[in-house]
Amino acid sequence: MRIRTKVDEVCEFLERQPGMRAPLEKVAASAKLGREQLETIAKEMAPSGVLEVEYPVNMLSGAVLILKQVPKVHGEEEAKGKMMEEYELKAHDLKAKGSILDVDAESRPLYQVEKPDVGPYTRKYLEQISEEMARSVPIAVEEMVDPRKGEILGMRFRQAAENRLQGLPGLEEWELKALSGLLLHTMYGLGDIELLMSDDFLEEIAINNSLVPISVYHRKYGWLKTNLILDSEDEIYNYSAQIGRRSGRNITLLTPLMDAHLSSGDRVNATLFPLSTEGNTITIRRFARDPWTIVDFIKNGTLTSEIAAFIWMCVQYEMNVMIVGGTASGKTSLLNTLCALIPPSNRTITIEDTRELNFPSYMKWNWVGLLTRNPNPEGRGEVDMLDLMVSALRMRPDRIIVGEIRKKREAEVLFEAMHTGHAVYSTIHADTGAQMLRRLQNLPFDMPASELSSLNLLLVQYRDRRKGIRRTYEVTEVVYSSDMLSLNSIYKWKPRTDEFAKVREPLRIIEEMNLHTGMSPEEITKDIADKRTILDWMVKRDLRSIEQVGQIMNVYYKRPKDVLEAAKKNAPLGKRL
């Protein structure tokens, strides 16, 4: 996709002329422009030092257009390799193509962005009018900080850019939109990073310095190197400062560390040289736009539909669940799948350091999301996990979801919430359920067994480091008897055969269900079987998005028989479901 405007035509014509100069009338005829149109373009390009109009003293002689400098061409070299996957990227009307390539010379696949190839002179022209537009489109402080007003500001910029580019004759509609998108990214956005931000498969975007390509973490392929490199350390700093201004943060040589949130909910960490020894850095952890659901977990083999049905039942009937696992084992992803299974009649409060949990639309009317806040450079204004947990208990929640437990006081408040009748879900670092209990009962947590007795279910996540697969290694219930805690393993994964096996029947879960719902063991077994039928139908019909899962859950909690009937008939997802 090459965009070549009248500015490029004019300047490239002058490149071929002796002394890179020619009569104004001759240049206008070559580019099929009127004299006034060409003079306007030349005047707009004059401050950049690219074009100059020389008007003679003798009125009988014609004006001469001079090309003063030829800008450097920064063309990205297109990599060659086996195409693994490609799809369209679109950010503010600017379209590009994202490709995953298997390149022989690289140990990892390459993430290649093919964006519109804008001529070098048009780029200079855009730089000039962007400075003019920055002066003509005023920005209020609240528009930069408030995400809702920020969207309106973006629309104002885009409209102003399109109006300003009308001065370039001969542009097609797609070229006009692409150039206005480029202007918007240059003036108000993060340049080429905006295209990466539009890819919902990317979880992390890492800029390590201006000498190496930007790297990304892809949901399907892991860490990948891109073909995008920022021009300078100053450019990285400018992006960091821009993010900081929008979020009320500041990054300077005196405060060279910054944690901030974009209006989209994505979290940004930035550092400056020499704190980061190779150069300035920006790391963007992206909030999942298309999060994993319980259907994805079943399809990927992370767990079975039988296990998923059992977990669903535990979530529906307000069992307290802790997800256990090592780094990158899928703890938060599993926690996210549980969110869509919560009945909409329950008020839910989530507490996180970084926004990672997502809810279907049907639940958002009764959901409050809380995020921690780091202190400002003066060390003031911090809001930590404990502050939010205490605040959440005053919001009359039915369910409390905490992203991760790290400190003793947080654990104490969390388990106190369980004891006071709130259904609680959270994650913690440990390799097994037994290790998790030992960790909580010893320093630094040092919690008594009686306090931990309110925990009903442990879900242990596992990442196979050789194969790169994630599995729910164990589903186990916590049993409390004679001031002692023990574990009753219900389901377990066998690594050698990659199969799940039922180890024992649940004991405490059945007792709790009978106590709080009056359901008999037979009714519980039937409930799990019905839920499994529904989940198998969702897998078969590929009803995997969070909104599709949410739509089914919304109807299920009102008319469970209708959903079960649709599942048994393998009916398509209609408006009534």
Q: What is the helix (H) or strand (E) element at residue 331, kind and residue range?
A: helix 331-339
Using DSSP's 3-state secondary structure scheme, residue 353 falls into coil
Q: Which among 345, 347, 510, 357 is positioned nearest to 426, based on CA atoms? A: 357
- Region 366-388 average pLDDT: 86
Return the pLDDT at 420: 87
pLDDT confidence band for 249 (50 / 70 / 90): confident
Q: How far is residue 81's CA from residue 60's CA, in Å, rounded to a whole number?
A: 60
- In 3-state terms the chain splits into helix, strand, coil percentages (rounded to 5) of 40, 25, 40
pLDDT digits over 151-172, tens only?
Answer: 666 677 777 777 778 777 788 8
Task: Give the chain's domains with CATH numbers.
Answer: 2-67 (1.10.10.10), 90-285 (3.30.450.380), 294-568 (3.40.50.300)
- Region 442-458 average pLDDT: 92
| Torsion over CA: 184, 190, 196, 202 (sign) | negative
pLDDT digits over 34-52, tens only?
Answer: 888 888 888 888 888 888 8
Query: Scanning the structure block, which residue is given the tokens 């990466």?
Result: 196
- Among the residue ranges 111-120, 468-477, 506-515, the one predicted with the least confidence is 111-120
pLDDT confidence band for 149 (50 / 70 / 90): low
Q: How far is residue 252's CA from residue 258's CA, in Å, rounded to a whole number?
A: 9
Indicate if the pLDDT at residue 493 is higher than 90: yes
| Torsion over CA: 21, 23, 29, 33 (sign) | positive
Q: How far is residue 359's CA from residue 79's CA, in Å, rounded to a whole number?
A: 39
Return the pLDDT at 154: 66
Return the pLDDT at 234: 94
Q: Are 8 and 125 in contact (CB under 8 A)?
A: no
Q: Are 421 and 397 in contact (CB under 8 A)?
A: no
pLDDT digits over 72-123, tens only?
Answer: 765 556 778 899 999 999 887 788 999 999 998 888 999 999 988 888 888 8
Return the pLDDT at 4: 84
Tell me the average pLDDT of the chain.
88
Return the pLDDT at 147: 57
- pTM of full prediction above 0.85: no
Q: How many residues does the chain have?
A: 577
For the beta sheet containing 82-91, the strands, ordered from the edge strand earlier in sequence to the opposite edge, are 82-91, 94-102, 110-114, 222-226, 215-218, 202-207, 281-285, 267-271, 257-261
Return the pLDDT at 574: 76
Query: Residue type at 432?
Result: T
**ω before 444 within 30° of 0 (cis)?**
yes
Percent of the chain topping pLDDT 70: 94
pLDDT digits over 16-38, tens only?
Answer: 888 888 888 888 888 888 888 88
Name the packing angle between helices 6-15 and 120-136 (round to 10°).
130
pLDDT confidence band for 350 (50 / 70 / 90): very high
